[in-house]
Amino acid sequence: MCTDDYLIAFEKFLNIMRTMPDTITPDVSAAVDDLCDILRIGKIEVSFYDNITAELLDKDETTCYYDCGNYDESKFISQRNITTEINVAVYTAWLRNGAEEWSEDERKKILLILNMIFVFNGRSRAVKVAERLTFFDQDLNIHNMKFFLRFFNQLCEESRISGYAVVYFNLRRFSIVNRQVGRRNATIVMQKFVDMLKDMLDENEIICRIGSDNFSMVLKQEKLDNIIKLLKGTNIPIDNNNVFISASAGIYVIPDDENLPASTDVMDRVSLALHTARRSGRKNIVFFDEELSEFNKRNMAISSVFPYAIEHNEFLVYYQPKISLDGYRLAGAEALCRWKHDEKLILPADFIPILEHGMDICRLDFYMLDQVCKHIRHWLDTGKNVVKVSVNFSRRHLSDLSLLEQILDIIDRNNVPHEYIEIELTETTNSLEFKNLKRAIKGLQNAGISTSVDDFGIGHSSLNLIKEIPWNVLKLDKSLLPSNEDDNNHQKTVMFKYVVAMAQAMGLECIAEGVETPEQIEILKENSCNFAQGFYFDKPLPIEEFEARLDNFDYTHLLP
């Protein structure tokens, strides 16, 4: 080997590697070629490993710096370097087939070359490692939120965002999957589900993990139908079992105009849509639109003024009479909420659904019960003919283990006999809520407080609800009432007849809601449903008008 030739080639190599250490350009290749010819090297490779375990398992990322296609696999020199606390890099040079063995001096020169490649190449490797730690989720090997924002902004800057949609989704009840199969298997299930979504994307689309079991996607609009189909649910095999995975999702379709939102605005919109989907209980996929935006504004406005409204007694109790068809007398009432704000009366449909999105509805329910108890105590003290009043409670209370104690505390604090209060609760299909509901109903009944199931006949678990839980009263939803305007009036009449008969055989009192016509009154009487509530008799009344009904008000003029 000529020393001068080697020094010239090494200096050329050094100068080029200083300026271009991380790419194999023609200049880099030429410099390496010269050195390899002089030192009889057939191949130079560098293998990167994420950690020592990956090195032991031979899971590497390999870059070839030189390959003449002619080398002896048994004769090589390796240089192993730890690039960070976790990364390993192994640089290897192989002798050419049939070439003279390297001298000790040549081996030192080759090690020097490998070390120089390591020094310069390590900088680019560090950049890649830093990028991976910054923009990748380490558990699932997909991009993270930071990359999502960068990717979306890049599409906008390049005017390529038109025709895309953003999906933000949450895996439904994934905590249950964790309990069923264990955290390790649950992560595998999550990975498989994410991989199924990734397989539907191309290089211009992404899926990112936002955190925990929350993910976002940027994809072309024409793929939405297939993505939504998968998000609605699929079985994932694990340990010879199938785990059903589905998601709640918010979707924002990028508008095809010049007023494109920023990435943070997009996340706000899909987050709102996802929040709506998760709260609805019925609709798991929600698209963002202006109607949803307006609803959110109303939601925020009502939520912000709610504490003031309840502190200043803006919520009023209206009472809708319940009538016994045996003598057409007042037999009870349902307490209904109205909101008087800025001298305007706001109906429940305009604020109850919004309050039910959070726990404000629970505070309102307790407020209503307290107001009803105060009214009953006043009626008792002034000698009025008091009837039982039912108060609605949201299913939101069913997560509160102290519900029974709070109800009893309000009633007893107002010194109201328990027989004057009835608690109305709606049915639920959630198994945990069902268990809590059963416990609450039994506790109320043990305390001598009547309970009723509201809107019976709407849900899917109605029969199981009355089989498992010892209610006092069954409130039949108006959808069960036959009407001459219904095409299936005969079927509804038969169904109504047997629902009433079944309830009475179980010892339940039946009351029909939404009664509006004399024909419906006749159907109730024919089927021994002895109590009715509806506009045929009375609309919900303010307290002054209802108090007048307490004084032996006569409904016989309404006899059909």
Task: Give 510-537 pLDDT, tens digit per residue.
Answer: 999 999 988 889 889 988 899 999 999 9
Percent of the chain's residues with pLDDT above 90: 35
Q: How confident is the model at residue 29 (pLDDT cuts 50, 70, 90)?
A: low
Q: Give dist(CA 505, CA 556) in Å, integer.
A: 29
- Whether 293 is in a domain gets the answer no
Residues 476 and 431 in one domain: yes
Residues 125 and 150 in one domain: no
Residues 130 and 147 in one domain: no
Q: Give dist(CA 246, CA 231) in Å, integer.
A: 5
Q: In whole numbers, what is the pLDDT of the chain averaged over residues?
A: 84
User: Would you state the pLDDT for residue 58?
Assistant: 65
pLDDT, one tens digit per residue, over 82-127 is 765 567 888 899 999 989 999 888 888 888 888 877 776 665 555 5
Q: Give dist(CA 278, CA 284) in Å, integer.
A: 7
Residues composing the chain: 560
The CATH number that applies at residue 204 is 3.30.70.270
Q: Give the CA dihedral 193, 195, 199, 201, nearest 10 degrees.
A: 90
Q: Hey, which of 103-107, 241-245, 538-542 has the most confident mean pLDDT? A: 538-542
Q: Give dist(CA 65, CA 22) in Å, integer.
A: 11
Q: Give dist(CA 348, CA 334) in Å, integer.
A: 14
Residues 168 and 51 in one domain: no
Residues 501 and 407 in one domain: yes
- Whether 323 is in a domain gets the answer yes
Sign of the dihedral through C-alpha 2, 3, 4, 6? positive
- Whether 153 is in a domain gets the answer yes
- Whether 31 is in a domain gets the answer yes
pLDDT, one tens digit per residue, over 149-160 is 888 888 888 888
Interstrand relation of 76-82 and 88-95 (parallel, antiparallel or unpaired): antiparallel
- Whether 307 is in a domain gets the answer yes
Mean pLDDT of 267-279: 84
Q: Give dist(CA 259, CA 261) in Å, integer.
A: 6
User: Would you state the pLDDT for residue 206?
Assistant: 93
Mean pLDDT of 318-335: 93
The residue out of 93, 115, 134 marking a domain boundary is: 134
The CATH number that applies at residue 57 is 3.30.450.40
And the tokens for 189? 């299930």
- Whether 350 is in a domain gets the answer yes
pTM of the model: 0.62
And the tokens for 447? 């305390």
- Whether 434 is in a domain gets the answer yes
Residues 89 and 196 in one domain: no
Q: Does residue 254 contact residue 279 with C-beta atoms inside 8 Å?
A: no
Poorest-confidence range of 233-242, 267-276, 328-337, 479-488?
Answer: 479-488
Phi then psi for residue 124, to 5 deg, are -65, -35
What is the domain extent for residue 247? 139-288
Q: Please say if the pLDDT value at position 262 is more than 80.
A: no
Q: How confident is the model at residue 460 (pLDDT cuts 50, 70, 90)?
A: very low
Q: Please say if the pLDDT value at position 21 is more than 60.
A: no
**Higher model confidence: residue 505 or residue 322?**
322
- Whether 39 is in a domain gets the answer yes
Q: Give dist(CA 140, CA 142) in Å, integer.
A: 6
Question: Of 457, 454, 463, 471, which is closest to residue 509 (Cα–Cα)?
Answer: 471
Q: Give dist(CA 296, CA 47) in Å, integer.
A: 53
The residue out of 134, 167, 193 marking a domain boundary is: 134
Residues 531 and 429 in one domain: yes
Residues 143 and 229 in one domain: yes
Residues 31 and 164 in one domain: no
User: Would you state the pLDDT for residue 178?
Assistant: 86
Q: Any residues with CB less than 8 A from the CB of 397 and at least 6 apart, and which?
A: 362, 365, 403, 440
Question: Of 1, 61, 65, which is closest to residue 27 (Cα–Cα)?
Answer: 65
The CATH number that applies at residue 545 is 3.20.20.450
Q: Which secondary structure element, helix H or strand E, spans residue 291, and what is its range?
A: helix 290-311
The residue out of 134, 150, 181 marking a domain boundary is: 134
Q: Does residue 13 contact residue 35 with C-beta atoms inside 8 Å?
A: yes
Residues 124 and 153 in one domain: no
Task: Please report, in angstroms and rounded to a whole number, the separation of the first and last CA atoms in the chain.
Answer: 120
Q: What is the largest CA-CA distance in the chain?
A: 124
Q: Give dist(CA 89, CA 92) in Å, integer.
A: 10
Residues 100 and 225 in one domain: no
- The DSSP symbol for 254 reads P
Q: Give dist(CA 267, CA 255) in Å, integer.
A: 15
**Domains held by the chain: number:** 3
Distances (CA, A) of 285 to 194, 252, 430, 446: 18, 11, 19, 42
Residues 98 and 172 in one domain: no
Q: Give dist(CA 257, CA 159) in Å, integer.
A: 11
